[in-house]
Amino acid sequence: MSDVTLAQRALRSLDLTDLTDNCTDQAIDTLCARATDPRGPVAAVCVWPQFVVRAREALRGSPVRIATVVNFPSGGEDVERVTDDVREALSDGANEIDLVLPYEALRRGDIAVATEMVEAVRDVVDQGRLLKVILETGVLSDPALIEAASRLAIDAGADFIKTSTGKTPLSATPEAAEIMLGAIKASGRSVGLKPSGGIRSVADAKIYLDLADRIMGPDWATPKTFRIGASSVFDALIAAIEGRAGSAAVGAY
């Protein structure tokens, strides 16, 4: 696969993200303009809940979906608060909910707490809208825990499992993604993968697309089953599509 073809494939599976602490309305307008680039568009934008309405207005008439985050980034255990946040986000116009799994509960062996959270949010996120469950694999770290978190999220109704919030020292890794893809394949369910955080170059994107192709088959990774959560990789993908140098561009998540 040529760099151009690879970059086009990655761009269309991109969740173009701004979860910076100092995000503004103007930054969301810029994000949404980039999301609808004619060489794309990207699959979705991922923004803080308070910017969902702004993104909805900016993206009106486009196919780009709006994702937002809940229980983010701490992965707390207050189910009622989180489900209230989800209802508000959906009412504002979110199409996709990226929920942080209560990963500390899982680490201490309290599977019921983590399961209850995912199931409760699943009940609120109705058909046509996606639930992505963020496992925070950099904190779980142990392959057995990553596999357990993957299985838990899938069994509780996740549409996607996502590696990371991008707010911890270690975000997406190929090792974690491989475990997650193995759990998806073993489940027999139509569940997608979203590597997120630290993906800054065409080469980075290629690692995860190659993993998906090898484990799930060459036709599996489409925007319906595969997303890349990133902000800085956008410029690198556009540079590769245009045949310019700079496909290893870097930036902050």
**In this structure, are residues 111 and 145 in contact, taking their beta carbons and an 8 Å threshold?**
no
Annotated catalytic residues are 98, 162, 194
State the Cα–Cα distance between residues 12 and 182, nearest whole angstrom: 24
54: CB partners within 8 A, 6+ apart: 25, 28, 29, 47
3: CB partners within 8 A, 6+ apart: 202, 240, 247
- For residues 208, 42, 15, 244, the Cα torsion angle rounded to the nearest 10 degrees is 60
DSSP 101: P
- What is the CB neighbour count within 10 angstroms for residue 144? 9
